[in-house]
Amino acid sequence: MTTRLTPDICVIGGGSGGLSVAAAAAAFGVEVVLIEKGKMGGDCLNYGCVPSKAMIAAGKHAHAIAEAPQFGVLAGEAKVDFRKVHKHIHSVIGAIAPNDSVERFRAMGVNVIESAAHFTDKSTVVAGDTEIRARRFVIATGSSAFVPPIPGLDTVDYLTNETLFERTRAPKHLIVIGGGPIGMEMAQAHRRLGAEVTVIEGLKALGKDDPELAAIVLDNIRAEGVAVLEGSKVTLVEKRGKTGVRVHYESESGAGHVDGSDLLVAAGRLANVEGLGLDKAGIEHDRRGIKVGANLRSSNSRVYAIGDVAGGLQFTHVAGYHAGLVVQQILFRAPAKENRDIIPWATYTDPELAHVGLTEEEAAKRHRGRISVLRWPYAENDRAQSERKTTGLIKMVVDRKARILGVSIAGAGAGEMINMWALAIANGMKLKDVRGYVPPYPTMAEIGKRAAITYYTPMTRKPFVRWIVRFLRRFG
């Protein structure tokens, strides 16, 4: 027997974006069906953001012990129990999981179907023995680890983010293919937890970030003992012994190879579009994801796509942002468009790397070079000195009217500090707005204000401004 449902909204995918749409719709009393074939919470909770940050936190504690003598604290050599690291990671997942559970969403009034979904025509989705004909559909199926077609890769055991956090044994020598945010975060975390680590990157590591700031982060990671091979294309992977692996690569300096105990493939993400029957629904898509307009609507006017599957920026907070835009349109028929200029991102290496708005290169092109670039180093901040976290700087790009166009930060707490600048850019703020706020002392947030004030420094040397100061002094 086939069950037929006619909800107002059908959401496919129980990750952060899909859950946000379902929760919002249910809160307004709208009938909504949520379909999820795997684990509720999606990649972020189970295989991505949450477990990776839990592992990074473990690595930070180990590193703090190594740094303790600088503060006059002798704690001895750190000893890592990787089984307990594994337990810590999964206890964090377990603590958050109830918020995303089937039970919680059913209690909200969401009809949750635990099955794979596919379109049979432009207005019908089938999941198990249930047929859903909704007024609107939202596809939020996320993305999965991309496994490149490297010769020999299918002959060895390798890890992706979906299997990495199941390990209870520390790798002796971890080889990471891919020097993006995931690859560099996991490389540093594993190095701090006792593994030897080599990263092989075909182009530039952390290549999507400002090169000046990425270099600061990479220098620090290399100083901790991680080998980062940039401009090195992997040509072959083969077994070495019973459990080892050998990775061959080519670079400008010639061919080479690295021998390791374990292999992590962190070569990017691929949108989850397979098996959805998108062609039957008239939904245009390619390997990068579903093609959508700025309003996130697909070529099928009934269907929206949000988050990673929409083929844009692949961050959990972007999926949440998309969810809000879609809810606004579906429930209130209010126009909404994605603005990628206001989206921040952060890489949780140490030091951290964060950005929002336009990069220096993007701003120069869009404003024909009529921009100013402001900087301030962490080393000039009292709080950074007291905590010995002086590596890094803030870089701010503004236009001729002192409007803030973009901010990049490399340094301790960059992921937290970027929040203020995301707010500033989202609201079109200018440097005068920053000049007028008072940060508490001593905090690292002062770094941003100091950078902003440098914009006005040239004014102190202008003859006309100095003449005004001298003239006003005559009046007492």
- What's the angle, vertex CA 187, arms to CA 169 and CA 260, rounded to 5? 60
- Paired with 270 in beta bridges are 144
- Helix, strand or coil, per DSSP, at residue 313: coil
d(CA 182, CA 348): 9
Return the DSSP state at 153.
Answer: G
Average pLDDT over residues 368-383: 96
pLDDT tops 70 at residue 1: no
Place of tokens 């429930």: 331
pLDDT tops 90 at residue 459: no
Average pLDDT over residues 372-389: 98
Place of tokens 């907070």: 317
Residues 6+ away with beta carbon under 8 Å from 184: 199, 205, 206, 217, 218, 221, 347, 349
d(CA 355, CA 214): 11
d(CA 325, CA 171): 43
Q: Would you place residue 259 in the very low, low, confident or very high pLDDT band (cuts 50, 70, 90)? A: very high
Domain spans, the chain: 3-40+101-145+270-338, 153-268, 342-458
- Could you report the per-residue pLDDT of 358-371, keeping only the tens digit for each? 999 999 999 998 99
Element (DSSP H or E) covering residue 373: strand 371-377
Q: In what order do the strands lie in the sheet with 345-347?
A: 345-347, 352-357, 404-411, 393-399, 371-377
Residue 92: CB atoms within 10 A of its CB come to: 17
- Could you report the per-residue pLDDT of 336-355, keeping only the tens digit for each? 999 999 999 999 999 999 99
**CB-count burial class (<10 Å; 0-12, 13-18, 19+) for 375:** middle
Name the fold adopted by 153-268. Answer: FAD/NAD(P)-binding domain (3.50.50)
pLDDT tops 90 at residue 2: no
**Annotation-wise, does 48 bind a ligand?**
no
d(CA 135, CA 300): 12
Beta carbons of 389 and 447 less than 8 angstroms apart? no
Beta carbons of 55 and 189 less than 8 angstroms apart? yes
pLDDT of residue 305: 98
**Annotation-wise, does 180 bind a ligand?**
yes
Q: Is-same-fold flag (3-40+101-145+270-338; 153-268)?
A: yes
**Annotation-wise, does 212 bind a ligand?**
no
Q: Where are the alpha helices (H) located in 149-299, listed in sequence order?
A: 161-164, 181-192, 211-223
Q: Would you place residue 192 in the very low, low, confident or very high pLDDT band (cuts 50, 70, 90)? A: very high
pLDDT of residue 26: 98
Return the DSSP state at 361.
Answer: H
Beta carbons of 421 and 358 less than 8 angstroms apart? no
Average pLDDT over residues 290-298: 98
Average pLDDT over residues 263-271: 97
DSSP code per residue over 276-295: S-TTTTT--EETTEE---TT
Radius of gyration of the chain measured on its C-alpha atoms: 25
Average pLDDT over residues 142-162: 97
Architecture of the domain defined by 3-40+101-145+270-338: 3-Layer(bba) Sandwich (3.50)
- Helix, strand or coil, per DSSP, at residue 262: strand
**Annotation-wise, does 6 bind a ligand?**
no
Q: Write down the pTM of the prediction.
A: 0.95
pLDDT of residue 476: 79
**Annotation-wise, does 41 bind a ligand?**
no
**Annotation-wise, does 207 bind a ligand?**
no
Domain boundaries 342-458, CATH class: alpha beta
pLDDT of residue 75: 86
**Annotation-wise, does 201 bind a ligand?**
yes
**Annotation-wise, does 42 bind a ligand?**
no
Structure tokens, 382:
């009292």
- Helix, strand or coil, per DSSP, at residue 331: helix
Which residues in 245-276 are b (16+ Cβ under 10 Å) and which e? bbbbbeeeeeeeebebbbbbbbbebbbbbeeb
Backbone dihedral angles phi then psi of residue 110, each to the nearest 5 degrees: -85, 130
**Annotation-wise, does 268 bind a ligand?**
yes
Altogether, the residues listed in the chain come to a count of: 476
Beta carbons of 234 and 202 less than 8 angstroms apart? yes
Start-to-end Cα distance in the chain:
93
d(CA 111, CA 397): 47
pLDDT of residue 366: 95
- What's the angle, vertex CA 80, arms to CA 66 and CA 179, rounded to 5? 75
Q: pLDDT averaged over the chain?
A: 97
